[in-house]
Amino acid sequence: MGYSAYTSKYLENDVVSRPKEWLVPLLYEHLLAHLRRAQVQIQQRDFEGKGVSLEKASAIVIELMSTLDHEKGGELAQRLSALYAYFGSEIMNVSRTLDQGVLTKMIEMIASLHESWVIAAKTQWPASATPGAPVAVVGTAPAAAPVGGSRDSLYDRQVRR
């Protein structure tokens, strides 16, 4: 088994082993990783790699949007949906324009949201009981948006395997 297969298996185990409260922070972690990778790829003029990284980031934003439960989440779910639509639009914009400023601003916003989701997850499931969960967090948490509405997310399907 090659390195790529081991990495893939590790990531799959990470998703399956996390409590559902930690799946949104996990998505944010991967979103940030892809955006930061794209930032480096733009600097290195690796446009093919940039395209792949931004495509993966876009897929995560779509996944985040699809997991919102608008009935239970109310105004918060609506606001997150609008924010995710904005992120999707900006990802397409960065892909076209290679604007590092827009990408940096988006990374900062998403990092702040990630910190808030980690805090929200900690209130439901302490990090000390969660293997692989982030431990150090700064910021304040918004009220947690209900996820896992009527449509099953990719991660819900992974957990049921």
Q: What is the pLDDT of residue 31?
A: 97
Contacts of 82 (CB under 8 A, 6+ apart): none
pLDDT in tens, 65-107: 999 999 999 999 999 999 999 999 999 999 999 999 999 999 9
All structural domains of the chain with their residue ranges: 20-143
- pLDDT of residue 53 exceeding 80, the answer is yes
Does the predicted model carry a pTM greater than 0.75? no
Is it true that domain 20-143 has CATH number 1.20.120.340? yes
Average pLDDT over residues 61-68: 95
Place of tokens 């931004």: 54
Closest by CA to 24, choosing from 151, 160, 144, is 144
3-state secondary structure of 68: strand
